[in-house]
Each structure stands twice: as structure tokens, then as C-alpha cells.
Amino acid sequence: YPENTNKLVNDNLIKLFYSFIIISFSFSIESKDIYDKSWALIIGIDKYESVSKLNYAVNDAESMQDILLNTFEFPSENITLLTNEQATKQNILKSLSNITMNANENDRVVIFFAGHGETMDLPEGGEMGYLLPVDGDSENLYLSSIDMDELEKISLISKAKHILYLVDACY
């Protein structure tokens, strides 16, 4: 395919994705009484240290931040944006922990990740999925990456009323 076709397909997918987000939240934000506070962790990684680079993940993350600020009125002090070199495993886990500690029973949380994902075959069958931070190493996923079970743990630990995970990562 010509390069312009790939860009057009990607742009249309992004528009569809953002439309879905707007529709998903439209019911939640009709009344200011539904949530006390809104929190977000937004991650976009284009320039990886050990794996192939991406082209649009940071743009998508910045667009998501803009949507949350301007359309859904998330307070800027409650949004953490980690891009490229900021999106280390340690910084991501620290930011997830901060949201878990700060979000209360009547709050909402959005966690957005745009970047690489990998799977590892398990000896008994099946796969374990991982999100690769900027310093992730596909040769040692367990040590260097964030397994998908970590997202489930955040849901179990957090007091937040709702947590929405938006993950744009190929496996």
C-alpha cells in the first residue's frame, strides 16, 4: 500500500476510536453528580530503547489528554501524561500507584496506553500479555514490562467507582 493509504487508514481508526470514547463517556458526564473527581494516566511511546519505534502513539496520547481536558473537563492536576523517555516501567507503576492511592469511592479513572505490547507463551498453554514501557525488553518481558494482570490488580485495589482502560497495543 502507498504510505498515504496507511496514514489515511490510521487516521480513520483514530477518529473511530475517539468517537467511541466520546460515546462511552457521554452518559457518564451528563450529570456532574455522578463523580466527585476525575483522574487519568495517559501513556504514549514512540521512541523505544530496545524495540522498533512507532509513529503515532505520542500523538494519540496527547489527543487523549486534550479530549479529557476540554471535552470531559478532567482537571489538569489530575492527569498524568507520560511520553517516550518519561514512560519507564518505574514511572508507570508509580503513576498507577498514585491514582490508586488518590482516587476515592465516587471518582472515575481513565488509563490510556498507546505503545507496544508483547505476549509470552506459557508452559502449560496460553499466553501472558505485557505492555512494554520505553525501557522494556522483549527478551525479558517478566522483568522489564508490565503484565496485564497488573491492570487487574489496580482495579481490585482502587476504591474508584469506575476505571476505564484504553489500550492500543499489538500483541
Rounded to two decimals, what is the model's pTM? Answer: 0.81
pLDDT band at 170 (very low <50, low <70, confident <90, very high): confident
Give the tens place of pLDDT for each residue, 19-73.
Answer: 666 556 555 544 366 889 999 999 999 999 999 999 999 999 999 999 999 988 8
pLDDT band at 15 (very low <50, low <70, confident <90, very high): low
The four Cα atoms 102, 65, 81, 13 give a dihedral, to 10 degrees, of: 120
Query: HSE-up of 33 (CA within 13 Å, CB side)?
Result: 1
Give the tens place of pLDDT for each residue, 102-127.
Answer: 999 999 999 999 999 998 889 998 88
Cα dihedral sign for 28, 62, 74, 90? positive
